[in-house]
Amino acid sequence: MRRETYQRGVPGAKWGIWNCSQKEFQFDICEDTPMLAVARLYQKIGDDAKKWRFEPRQLPGKYIAFSSGS
Q: What is the pTM of this model?
A: 0.82
Q: What is the domain count for the chain?
A: 1
Q: What span, in angstroms and rounded, lies between the C-alpha atoms of 16 and 27? A: 8
Q: Say which residues have a Cβ less than 8 Å from residue 40's Cβ, sequence separation at least 6.
A: 17, 27, 29, 31
The reply to whether 23 falls in a domain is: yes
pLDDT tens digits for range 6-43: 899 899 899 999 999 999 999 999 999 999 999 999 99
The reply to whether 2 falls in a domain is: no
Are 55 and 7 spatial neighbours (Cβ–Cβ below 8 Å)?
Answer: no
The reply to whether 45 falls in a domain is: yes
pLDDT at 65: 58
The reply to whether 44 falls in a domain is: yes
Range of the domain at 31: 16-67
